[in-house]
């Protein structure tokens, strides 16, 4: 007998659950795309997207997923035969590299492995040894497969301190809106993200943010095409130019509602704090399960773990049975294990819990309780006290400040 006939829970690391308010905002007839409310709300959307990324720079919209944003970013600043340096901490920087090579860009990659962050000193050494060949440095803030989180602030400072002219390009698809990101203060030239994770809108729209150094590279980029070119998208004379044609009308209505919730109601910094508290609850549970058990967090050091997703390893390839039990018996869908590099099969030993976007403690604690039940139901060795550990951090964070310091 399955018990999964009540409310189900999607606990994958994107697309994250879309709030009912966002879904209701999208549930409407098609609007006039030439004038009226849809056109009038665009300046506010752009302003709020800048607020989330802490930037005064331009942002271009694409009717595409994150892979589309990758390609758009590359096409607007590079030419065939250009060379880039890719910093890999899992699968997704490698995927961006693969796309660059298919466009005729040559690459070098420093692979830091799927359990540790970028070593800034190695990057500095590579740039100091370069003779100007490297046109851009590519990395991710959070690798969604490995759940490694990189220190973008430190990396941005270090790159600029070398005096190297390479553009700094960052994938924030899994992290924007979930944890601190300061595009301008951190010397990021190009940032890519999508609407379906921290921005809480159903998948289908992505964004490329780009600053003055990226615009300077755009002047000479021969990979620019009619569709990916960001010139009119970022600074359109007419509304339709922002989308190279018909706008993703209903996504824009949903995004407007989501940004109202994130920017104007909760506040971006409060959202960062909420995500940090919920991530710690997951980590507390993870470390309790790992005591004498077969389930361990992929990233050992908390300082290097993603705030938005946690990847788990299960010895003996039991990740799939656990995921299936949680979904089919309990109605909780966990994230599948993705290979941590483009040539690996290790995804069979992994599962992931997404803790991003429209998420509150009761939903997250329910997910952790189901995983705990699944470990017991399948007879998988694990440490005890995971739920108490998860709850303790949430209780502490919820106390009034004076009670926490007493």
Residues 374 and 234 in one domain: no
Report the distance separating Cα 367 and Cα 79, nearest Å. 46
Six-digit token pair at 36?
A: 């009226």
pTM for this entry: 0.95
Residues 254 and 352 in one domain: no
User: What φ, ψ does residue 352 adopt, rounded to 5°?
Assistant: -135, 145
- Look at residue 206 and give its three-state secondary structure: strand
Report the distance separating Cα 283 and Cα 104, nearest Å. 41
8 Å CB contact between 197 and 15: yes
pLDDT tens track for 327-340: 999 999 999 998 77
Six-digit token pair at 100?
A: 């660059």
pLDDT tens track for 10-32: 999 999 999 999 999 999 999 99
Assign 384 a pLDDT band (cuts: 50, 70, 90).
Answer: very high
Residues 124 and 271 in one domain: no
Task: State the CATH number of the domain containing residue 106.
Answer: 3.40.640.10
Residues 128 and 250 in one domain: yes
Q: How many distinct structural domains can be found in the chain?
A: 2
pLDDT of 137 reads: 98
Looking at per-residue pLDDT, the higher value among 81 and 4 belongs to: 81
Q: DSSP E strands: which ranges in 177-331?
A: 190-194, 206-210, 295-297, 309-314
- The answer on pLDDT for 406 being more than 60 is no
Report the distance separating Cα 396 and Cα 116, nearest Å. 29
- The answer on pLDDT for 234 being more than 60 is yes
Cα three-residue angle 140-145-146, rounded to 5 degrees: 80
Which residues have C-beta within 8 Å of that of residue 160, sequence separation ≥ 6?
Answer: 168, 187
Assign 3 a pLDDT band (cuts: 50, 70, 90).
Answer: confident
Residues 34 and 124 in one domain: yes
Where is the binding site, in residues? 352
Which residue range(s) make up the domain with 335? Answer: 9-16+267-398
Residue 404 lies in a domain: no
Residue 171 lies in a domain: yes
- Reference 219, options 62, 57, 76, 59; nearest CA is 76
Where is the binding site for substrate, in residues? 352
Residues 288 and 163 in one domain: no
Residues 153 and 277 in one domain: no
Residues 300 and 260 in one domain: no
Six-digit token pair at 366?
A: 């329910």
Six-digit token pair at 65?
A: 């997923």
Report the distance separating Cα 118 and Cα 138, nearest Å. 11
The bridge status of strand 167-171 relative to strand 190-194 is: parallel
Concatenated DSSP letters of 61-123: EESS-HHHHHHHHHHHH--TT-EEEEEESSSHHHHHHHHHHHTT-EEEEEE--TTS---HHHH
Torsion of CA 229, 231, 233, 236, to 10 degrees: -150
Residues 139 and 36 in one domain: yes
């Amino acid at each position: 007998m399955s018990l999964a006939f009540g409310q189900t829970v999607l606990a994958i690391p994107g697309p994250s659950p879309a709030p009912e308010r966002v879904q209701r905002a999208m549930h409407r007839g098609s609007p006039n795309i030439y004038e009226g409310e849809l056109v009038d709300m665009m300046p506010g959307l752009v302003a709020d997207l800048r607020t989330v990324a802490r930037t005064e720079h331009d942002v271009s919209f694409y009717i595409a997923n994150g892979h589309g944003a990758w390609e758009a970013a590359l096409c607007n600043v590079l030419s065939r035969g250009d060379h880039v340096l890719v910093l890999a901490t899992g699968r997704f920087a490698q995927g961006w590299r693969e796309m660059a090579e298919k466009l005729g860009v040559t690459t070098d990659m420093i692979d830091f492995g799927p359990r540790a962050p970028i070593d800034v000193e190695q990057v500095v050494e590579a740039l100091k040894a370069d003779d100007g060949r490297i046109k851009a440095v590519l990395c991710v803030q959070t690798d969604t497969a490995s759940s490694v989180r990189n220190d973008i602030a430190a990396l941005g400072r270090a790159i600029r301190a070398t005096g190297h002219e390479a553009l700094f390009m960052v994938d924030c698809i899994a992290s924007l809106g979930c944890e601190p990101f300061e595009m301008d203060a951190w010397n990021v030239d190009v940032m890519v993200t999508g609407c379906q994770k921290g921005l809480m809108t159903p998948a289908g729209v992505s964004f490329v943010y780009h600053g003055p150094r990226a615009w300077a590279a755009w002047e000479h980029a021969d990979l620019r095409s009619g569709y990916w070119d960001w010139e009119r998208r970022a600074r359109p004379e007419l509304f339709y130019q922002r989308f190279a044609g018909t706008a993703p009308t209903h996504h824009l209505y949903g995004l407007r509602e989501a940004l109202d919730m994130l920017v104007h109601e909760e506040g971006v910094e409060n959202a960062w704090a909420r995500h940090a508290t919920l991530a710690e609850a997951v980590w507390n549970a993870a470390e309790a399960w790992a005591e004498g058990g077969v389930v361990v967090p992929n990233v050992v050091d908390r300082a290097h773990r993603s705030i938005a997703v946690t990847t788990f390893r299960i010895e003996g390839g039991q990740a799939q049975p656990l995921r299936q039990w949680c979904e089919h018996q309990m109605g909780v869908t966990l994230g599948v294990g993705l290979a941590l590099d483009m040539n690996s099969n290790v995804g069979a030993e992994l599962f992931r819990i997404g803790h991003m976007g429209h998420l509150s403690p009761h939903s997250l604690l329910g997910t952790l309780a189901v995983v705990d039940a699944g470990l017991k139901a399948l007879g998988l060795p694990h440490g005890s006290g995971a739920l108490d550990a998860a709850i303790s951090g949430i209780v502490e964070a919820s106390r009034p400040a004076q009670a926490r310091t007493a």
